[in-house]
Every structure is written in structure tokens, then in C-alpha cells.
Structure 1
């Protein structure tokens, strides 16, 4: 395809004609013209010699017979403001294709400005047209180029209008970088090829500078003729000379009651009136005092007390009155009270306070009765009566479990202060609590959404309270007097495993020995919950955020808010799916059937986190590897497992152990639950990897004999599964809780 290039030039020339500042102040003539049309002209700008700042013709303006104001040769001024900026009109560039000859024609413009002016960064370089490229090149002390591209083969719809479709805008240079310079537009379109699709609605391409916010693109109007607009407002920065305030010193033209500031956009300085003054800071007469009392900008409550002073005001009170500041920050004059009035006021106040105290006492008593009634209602609603019956049936000597009051929970958490929050998740909010005996606990506000599950909740709470395992966070008690039950757990000091692996609170320096020991402890705990309790417990939310570490980095499995008890006569049950994305068993997610293999899958993800140091779910990884299980699977399949193992873990001495651990993690995360090993088998395999362990907690057999057992059953010499080495739940006959099954 032969590309026909139409190149046109928009050039903006800055002729820098800087002259040294005139020493001393300059007094403009009294007969200087101060308006051109509706535009007010103030010094240092002026029309005719003696009216503008001497020595710099950049400030010389021209007012034509149509009362239009110009700067330089042909740049029309439309507005001045107080921040050393002015707004001018620049003609837009256009390039059109002739329908008959298929040739392009463009315009070339030239603007000449004084050296005290430069483009403001508020401007946008804008292109309107289809299949067009606009380039803006400057040269001088610093070379600079910018541009943008607009593509379309049909007229964009209203909902398709966006930068780059039919039009485009881009930022331009800071002004001081282009005191010498020009700008060039290169519009590259093959009009002969796009004639039928583009020319009908876009015969011309336009490029221009425009102040930000002063142009809204319309595809139906602008692509055809730019709504017949030929020029656009452009912001220019200006300053006095090229010296800083310090360099200018006494030669600064800033008048009285004004302050000199170095320009932030270009060389030179600008002047501003001090607070309490207004006017023209460049005029030799300087800024004039503002009479706040007349223009009502004071804060005196009574305007009659306002007294103006140079640069401010005072609120003057009559004799015998004191000036005070009210709560609304106004100044008010008040007269001192006499003793008689003071006594009368005190009597009235005391009477009012007695009445108020009586009302408050009555309200307090009423509220206390209502609160007590509500606490009793919540207590029964949350299964309090049933809990007391269960505890009495078990026997208080057989269970270490305490029922707390709502008041004690408020005191322990300092009124549930946000600073006491340890964490928030799908199962509730956890607070740090200080009990009256100064012991520290974790108080969890559980979320019991379905009131029909109260019986099961109480039953599970009793069973969980009797778990006495060194790697399980102990449930100490509960409070049922609130809308949602509060569960009280032992407090673990060193955060979660997630914090140690991924968080910023702790230095991620867990060695392979630490990680392997943590994995062994968690696997053994889950195996104990699945197999050694009288009623099997499925955690249902195993993740690194629910594994706490104490000061010795001993693992503590926590957050049993989503756990379920499996009846003795069932291997699985149907429940509402709960868990955390990234750790959730896909089979459980699709079928709703919960069994112990769901915990096995979640543990496999945790083991992968320990090996890799990567998060279970990370959207910054490639699409096929966002889930850590997929990430692990692809790395294993492509024989690059070593690439994703945490650098703090892998070394020559433990490479074989890590590979075995990775294999265990992969088998735990198989899609089909029946293909996954049991937690008891996983615990045996992991403990066999520990160089410090010569005999597994779960079997009397040697390590070498147990390495093949992943996927099979571990059987003792007597033909029963073994659970030696683990703490047991207390022996309670009524719940048939034993050390193992």
C-alpha cells in the first residue's frame, strides 16, 4: 500500500527579547488606556509607550478598531487572571482533501510572542479526524516532541467517544522549556484508500492547542467541520524578567504591601498582594488595604464593633464589655453578669439539673430493663439454655468452658474499639481482649446467619471446647447475650502464617525446617480432627490466614467458625458451600458434598504456599497460573519446579525432601476427592521427611516402610489405625469422646 503523506506546519515562534530590569520603580502615565472592549488592562501590561513595563515590549498590547486586544503580532487576548496567566486565542490548523483531485491542502500559521510568555501545562494538544497522526515538535534549549493518533473507519457512535477514536488529546510541555521553539503537525493519511469510508463524514483533519476543559468533542459535528470554530483559547504563563526574587532584590517591581514569589512555571518572578490587601501588586502604588468592615468579611458578631486596621480588622467592644470567641468562631461582646443575676442563674441551673438528673435516672432504669430483657432474649435465641443443659449433662468438672457476660466482653475489648481488631473475615471479626485477671484472649464475633442451626452450633461448641490439642487454638468460652455469639479463644502472639509468608508485619525468614515442622503440625492436627475425635470434625476453611504461630513458631489451627461435625454413621454430608477462594475444594464447590478430603485439598494449597512463598490466588500471575495449584502443576509438568520454590527454602541438602513435599502437595490437590490421601497418611509422609524424626507419630513402622503409604491406609500390628503422639479430647462418656477411633 502506497502511503500518501500530507505534511503541514503549525509553527509557534517565541522571539525572546529580554532586557535587564530597570532599576527603581516605574510609574505608568496617568492617561494610559485601561480597557479594550470588556477587558481590563493593568500594569505591567499596557497600550503605548510609558504604559507598560519598560524594557520589555512583551507587555506592549494593541487594541484594534474592533476593540479586540492583541499581544505580539496577531495573538488575541481574551482574559487575564490573578495567577500570572492570560488566555489567548490560537487559530487551529486544518488539512482537507479535495474531492475531485484527491489532493490535500493545509494551512500554516505563525505566532510571535514576547520572551516573558510561554505555554502553560494546562493546555492540551488536540487532533480531530480519522486515521490521522499529529506530531508536535519543539526545539531550542531543550528538544521536545509529543503527539497522538486517532483511528476510525466510520463515524463513532456517542457511546464510542473516547480518546483515540475520532479525536485525541495529549499533554504538552511545561512553558519554560520552549522559550525558543516551534511546533509541527504531521498528518499521515492515505486519503485515496479511505475516501469512501472516511471522507464522507471527515473531509478535513484539524489540530490545535486548547486550554484543558475548553473543548468537548462531538463526533457528529466536529468530524465534518469542527462546528466552524477557527480558534481556541490557549493558556500562557508570564513573569517579570528571568531573575529570582533574591536576585532581583530592590530592583523588583513589586509594589507596596505585596510579596515577591519565584515563578513556578518559567524563569522570572511574580508579585502577589499580602493578606488583608488587594489591588495590583505590580503598580508602584502597591496593594491597598481591604476594609473588611465595609465588605462584611469580618467575624465580629455585631458589625458595629468592627474596626478596620491596616491589613486586617479588630472587634472593639464598648466599655464594660468583654470580647469572646463563640463556638462558631465569631467575636462577640458580652457584659459581665452581676452577682444578683449570678445567684438567680445558679438557682435556676440547680433546679434544672435536679430535674434533668431525675429524667436521666428514669431513662437509665428503663434502658437497663430493656437491655436486660434484650440480653435474655439473645441468650435464649443463641442457644444459651441448651448450652447450660449440655454443660450440666457433661459435668462442669469434665469441661473447661466459661460463659461470659456482655458487660465483661465490652470491658475486655474497650467497647469493641477499632484499635483492638485483630482481623476480619467471612466468619466474623476478631478482637484482642484483656480479661479482669489480665490474661489476653481473642474474642470473635461469630456470624450465626441461620437460627435453625442453633442446636448444631451449641453441640459443636461443646465438642470444640473439649479439644485439648497443642496445635489447636483453645476455645475458652462464649458470650450469648449479644445479637451474634462471641467466642473466646486463647491469644496467640505472633500473627498468622500468612503474615509470615506474605505480610509486611514480619520478616519472611522461615527456614525449610520451620516450614516442614509447621506443615507436619498442621497435617497432624487435621488428621486428629478427622480421625481421633469421637465426632469427626472437618475444618472447612483451612488456609494460611487461619494458622497462627506462637513465639516459638509453633502452629495453632484456628477459626472453626465454618467447621462441621460429621455424624458417626456418615462419611460426608451436604452443606451450603463455605470456604476461601484459592483454598476451596473444587469437588466440594461443584457438588456441595463435604467430607474430610475437602480439608486435604485446602492443606495441599497451604503446603504449596510453604514451598513457594507464593499466595494461593494471585491475579498478577499469568492467566493459567493465577491459582497456585495451576501454577504448581504447570511448573511440575514443564520440569521447572525449582523456579517457583522459595529461594530461602531450596538448597542442595534438602532438594530431595522438597521434591517429595511437592509431590505430596500435588496429590492432596487432585481434582477427585477419592484420589487424594487422608490427612493421617499425609502426616506420616511429611514427618518422614524430617531429618530429626526417626519414628512417625502415627505408626510403629520405620520411615522407609511408610514412604509408599500416601494414598493407602496405615495399619498397626493389631490391625487398628494408630493415633499415638497426639493430645486427645477429654474422655466424656455422654459425648463418646475418646482419644481416637
Structure 2
């Protein structure tokens, strides 16, 4: 902790279960966390280097220095202290700053101040977009001088005050991007201009930390990260929260758990409770009777949930009856409240509409079951973190076991927009009717929670992405397996586009959304951004959703999604299967990062066989490989009209397999087992959740220590 006298760390805070609670003497409360799956998301990841330094070095939010985590939604990081000395009489201006845009952090207006030190110096801070001054102050000197730590500054009535003489200060707004700079007032053409050594310092610092009398003023040019600066953070991302508008209604309070409250800006335990308001059961009842100094009682003190009762000694029986009655009333009230909330969410999420669809003869969706919240809560062991299969932009997926013994994947979705309820219910009905062996089956849903819960069949053997890119043993994807998987995926997409009762566009085809079952068969998954379309329509005009590297450039430019947009994404998957390379090259700049661009350029330069995966070159016949490569090239055509349909793609791939005599061959035992030894991220739940710098990061947790039916943590092919 950088100053125990000036700041107070968050008390009664806890980390995620089984996660490191401290780094040195600094507590790391959730939503912050050390290690995989211990924080809310990557912005709250904390890295603790406690092996090579004492006290340990800490960083957070993408590599920024972390000094301390304070109560009430604040963290302390290191800011810049800049000093520039000028003896030439020519003006000077220097810039140092911070950029927290697109993050939940912003400069704390309450805790910081901007400070300028020096003679006749103008210090100010600016924004990045227009480079206009946002604020600042001037520090003056006269002919009399005084020294602090041997450095000449200016006369002041009280050296401990920043009153404008040699030192000035001003409040700062809640900025996310800002830069500090200095300029000598003489440069502006007024005040004295005699040559002298002119040193100017500017900094933004914790107002409790800065003290002029003890501050080590420097008389050499420097730019040091030695100043504690306080940042506020928000638990939800909205335009009002990002501005630091604490009084605004910043969210739906979904992040605030039981016995806590908040406006989306920060959460806090309700009166009578203490703990971590961001964790389930994080706010625990305080036993007020254990501290009678703070809770005076002249009679018999009895603790009750959230409060305590003080009664006279002579009425112990009456007190006992009153306490029991209050507890019973509280439990009854809690059950009734829970029931009303479930009924509210059920109606809010379109439950009545879904019931109508199920009961109607026209709907004919008996297989779409409506689950109760308690049933799914029990199936996931109260949504135990050890049951998490994957996290992403569309929600979190848990492994669960139903009362009939079936293993399922339960997706806790994001809240549904009320204007999209009817469309959401229609898509649930449509997806529940899909019965294709290469599409993950939707078994049903639960609408009694704020965000709907979707129940899918459980696919145990990982993603195609893992099999292509994370191989850990000698057994890899053979050419025959790659060709078969490509054919199966193409067939599933062709079915969705042209054979389903209502055409469905997937809108996020990628190798992490293709799962492999225990027979190594492909299963297309994650319909979180999928949309059904009327038979007489050719496209959807929507906000752009998808994953960088797979996103159709034509869709990105026009916002019109067609069936050919899925074809483009499938083309990228084909190239992954051919080359064994990931869809984005992080080490390359600009357009060179795209695997699709790299592949097309290589074909134009007649370098196809130089970029193919070694196993593809070794096992695939040249004619077959060239045919698949040419098909991928046509799928990646920038003009969507010139791309083949998924039905045409399927016919071509099936034709290749038939020509090899593999159309109906039973694969051997070695080919059908899956070989991911430590499956994680089995369910990529976010349409924008990837490892390549799209909108969110996806994090996977290990499966249960005690599997529900059979051990899925070790497979070999």
C-alpha cells in the first residue's frame, strides 16, 4: 500500500473462490483478480510479481502499474511528473499523459488535483481529440526567492500551500484520455524576460498524497512515473458511467448481488451487511449484538437479518416469539418477492408468447421445454465457478446435469432488449425445431431470470480451433478428417440457409463456434447473434456483429448481411483447415494481419503449397487440395454475388469425398476419438469474443474436479 496514512484499502473484501486474495499487503477483491477466471474480465486482471521484488510489483488493465485498490470503486496507479528546464529564452512545451478510452477507468475528480510548480509557469492538461486546453493554472514568482530541498522556487506566504506563488493547483475532470504540459509565461510575450534558469514541473496526483513542504522538487529535466494517481472505475459500461456521472442511472444493477445495491456505477452492501457486493452471497449479515459499543442495547440484544432487536429482560419469551415471527415473516416475504420477480421476468422475456407458440398446433414445438430457474440452479450447483465452460460477449456457459441424468450446457445470456422479445422467442422456437446432426441442439430455455437461460446438448471434445491450432501430441487433424469436417459444417450451414422451415443466417461462423463430439463429428454452435429471415427477403440490415478475421468485408461496409456473408466466414474456416494458421496475424501490420488476404495473395503469386499445413501437403492429393483451395478462394470473393451458395459448396465438398470413396465409410476408432487433453473454452459464447482483439476476451475454466457422468478432461486420438 503506497500510504496507509492517506488512503484506506477496501475492507471486508473477498476474491473469487480458489483465487489469490492478496499481492503483498494489498487485497485483491473481485471484480479484480489474479490468475485465469479470477476477475470479471481482462480490464480487471491483476498481475502480481512477488518473486523478484519486495514489495511486489503489480499491474492491471493491460499493463498499467497498480499501486493499491481502494474502497468505493477506486484504484491507485502511477502518473507522470514532468520537469523541463530552459535557459535559452526560447519557449518549450512537452506532453505526457494517459489513455484509458474503451476501458472502465477514468480520472477521479474527487481524489486528484493538477499541480504546477515553477517561476512564471503555465501548466495545463489537454484532451486528445481536439488538443484543446481543458484546464490548468499559473504559478508566479517575484524578485524574492525561497528554496525547497535546495531548489529555488518563489516567494509564498506559506510554503506548505499551493496558492499561486511558485505553486498552483486546480481540480481535474473525470477524463479518460488526457495529457499534461508546461509553458513558460515569458514565451507568451509578457512578464520579465531576463535570462535565468527556469525549471517547470507539472503533475496530476492524489490530493491526499501531495504536500508542497515534503515534495521532492527536481531541478533537472525529467519525466518520471513516481506520482500516485487515483482512478475511478465502473462495473458496467454505459456512456453516462464512463463520464463519471455518479448520480446517473448507470445500469440495471445486475452486477449488484444479494443484499447489495448500486446505480451501476459501484455496488455496496446494504445497511446491516458487509462483504463483497459483486460476488454471490458476498454480502453477509453483520451480528450487531457482537459490538454493543456501536449498537447500544440496555436489554436483550437479538440479531436479525440486516438489523438487531433490543428488548427488556423481563419479556424474553415475547422477544423470542417476536424474533421467530420476524424471521418467518422475512422468509415468507422473501419467497413471495422471489416468486413475483420470476413472474415479472417470465413475462418480460416473452414467456407467455413462448407458451402460446408451444401450445398452438401451428407452432408444433413440443421438444422446446421451458425449464424452471431452480432446476437449472441445482443442475449447475448454484452456478459454481468450477462449472464454467466458457465466457464471452453473449454470456457465460455452465456445465450441468438435469434430474434425468442428461449432461447439458446452460448458457446464461445477456439481457434481451424489450423491443426484440418477439424476435427472440421466434428464434428460440425455430432453433428448437432444428434437428440436424451437425448443429448443436437447443433443448429449451428458462425465462424466470433477468437474462434468459438457454439449455443445449453438451458437446465434450472441444472446438475445431483447438484441434487445428493447439495440438499437443503427434496425432493431428488428418487430411481426411479436415475434408470431412469441412463437408459437415458446409452441410449444416446449407441446411440453415435453405432447408430449415425459415432461413437462418448464423452471422458468426468461425472455428471456435464449431464443436466436436465424442465421434469427432462437427457441430455448429453459438446462435447468439443468428437471425431468421423471411423467405421473400435477401438480406438483413443490422448493426455489424462478428469476429475480426472472419467478418465479411462487404457486410462490414454496407451493414447488409446476406447468406453470402456466412459463405465468406466459412471460406476463412476452410483456409484455417488448409494452412493450420490462425485467422489474424498479430505480429503483422494493417491488412497483412488477415489470413484471408494472405491466402489470396499467395494464390495469386503461385505460392499455395508454401503456406499449406505440412500434414495437408503430406497426405492430401494435389488435385484435391487445389480443388479445396480454389473453392476457398471463391468463398472469399470480395463481391458477395460471385461467391457460391452454401448448397453449392456442400455439393463440391461431398463430390470430393465421394471421389475418394469416403462417402459412407465408417471411420476407425483412432479417427473418431477426440484428442484434446485439457479441454477449456469448449463453448465460445460471444459473437465478438475472440483472442484477436475484437470487442471482448473469452476465458475458459477447467471442468469439475468430479465429473458429472464421465471424465471429459482427457481424450486421445
- Which has more radius of gyration? 1
Higher relative CO (Cα under 8 Å, sequence separation at least 6) belongs to 2
TM-score where L is the length of structure 2: 0.49
